[in-house]
Structure 1
Amino acid sequence: MQQEMAKGAKGEPFAVQELYRKGPLTPSQLAASMKTTTGRVSALLSALEKKGQITRESDPDDRRVVHVNLTKAGRERAERQRESMREAICWIFSQMGERRAREFVELTEEFTTYMSLCMPGKPRPTPEEVAKAFSENTQEVA
């Protein structure tokens, strides 16, 4: 399961979801968001193109720039992936029970806030920065 999830983070499912969420992207923008090489993205896009799930279009103002778009089949795939993930998450939460599911969500929010403050190679945040981040997250939820 973990291997499948890791593979999805670098493969077609992730690329399809990025294009679905963000709209047309250049191959280099897609590579940056996937944290992979443009060569890997090129191979991935070729596979998606063969499946009829993306198109590549040259920018009319700059022929060197290519925009990648989802086709109808690509959008349908993205929607199926999203629905499948939603169903899986709902099932997991139902197995956990309401109290534990709420605790999980709260802990995940807390963890995500801390992660947003801890950039590799940077000093750890001050107590004031931590308090500010949690204060901002509380305001976003309200």
Structure 2
Amino acid sequence: MSSHEQHSTGQRLFRAFDRVRKANWRRGAEASHRPSEMKLLFYVKRGLSFNALGMTISEISSGLEVTSPTVTQLINSLETQGLVERRMDQDDRRVVRVTLTDEGHASIAKAREALFGRFDDLIEHLGTQRSEQLADLLEEVAEFMSNRPDKAE
């Protein structure tokens, strides 16, 4: 492949990735909540499978790679909406754990259904074989990007 062809292909890949990034995959999934709130809800739900008592602010902060004050603001908002609640840890009263309310669980289920419905639509559009190929390619891209040393270093 010539340098010009490689550059052109690189530009095409960049535009395609940019368009996919800008596509609103969550549209309709849970319009009343910000993406950051939904991400926190999904993270807390996953954490509950490891500790049914809930997650601490620091665990959420670390897992989402955001500051504790940011997590606290999100939790305040979600608590006001009735989606999460704070509980004192039974063993250490200095520790506060965050859990989902029934409404929080229902909100996640609704968002999950809408999001995966979009992927079902994509599979129907592309067909199973091309969807499998796309998943394989995207996994390969993710592996490449996460293991590639930054050339600028």
Please, what TM-score do these two structures have when normalized by structure 1? 0.73
1:58 to 88, 94, 101: 88
Other-structure match for 1:16? 41
How much has 1:74 moved relative to structure 2? 0.4
Other-structure match for 1:87? 117
How much has 1:56 moved relative to structure 2? 0.4
User: Structure 1 4/41 Cα, relative in aligned 2: closer, same or farther at 3 Å?
Assistant: farther
Output the CA distance in 2 between the equivalents of 1:30 and 1:103: 34
How much has 1:97 moved relative to structure 2? 2.4
Read off the aligned partner of 1:21 and give its amino acid letter.
R
Query: SS state of the match for residue 123, structure 2?
Result: helix
Instruction: Render the CA deviation track for 1:44-79: whole Å, top value 9, x for unaligned.
Output: 001111111111011122111110000100001111
For CA contacts below 8 A with separation 6 or more, give which structure has more relative contact order.
Answer: 2
Query: SS state of the match for residue 87, structure 1?
Result: helix
Instruction: Render the CA deviation track for 1:73-96: whole Å, top value 9, x for unaligned.
Output: 000111111111110111112112
The answer to whether the Cα contact below 8 Å between 2:57 and 2:98 also exists between their aligned partners in 1 is yes
Q: Say which one has the larger Rg.
A: 2
Query: SS state of the match for residue 55, structure 1?
Result: strand
How much has 1:102 moved relative to structure 2? 1.5
Please, what TM-score do these two structures have when normalized by structure 2? 0.68
RMSD over aligned Cα, in angstroms? 2.5
Other-structure match for 2:15? none
Output the CA distance in 2 between the equivalents of 1:94 and 1:3: 18
Alignment of 1:1-142 (within 5 A): 2=22, 8=35, 11-23=36-48, 24-115=54-145, 117-118=147-148
The answer to whether the Cα contact below 8 Å between 2:44 and 2:99 also exists between their aligned partners in 1 is yes
The answer to whether the Cα contact below 8 Å between 2:25 and 2:118 also exists between their aligned partners in 1 is no
Instruction: Render the CA deviation track for 1:28-52: whole Å, top value 9, x for unaligned.
Output: 1111121111111111001111111
Instruction: Render the CA deviation track for 1:74-128: whole Å, top value 9, x for unaligned.
Output: 00111111111110111112112233211101112223333454477xx9xxxxx
Read off the aligned partner of 2:113 and give its amino acid letter.
E
Query: SS state of the match for residue 66, structure 2?
Result: coil
Other-structure match for 1:136? none
User: Between the two proteins, what is the percent identity of the paired residues?
Assistant: 26
Gaps of 5+ in 1: 124-142
Output the CA distance in 1 between the equivalents of 2:83 and 2:71: 14
Read off the aligned partner of 1:2 and give its amino acid letter.
K
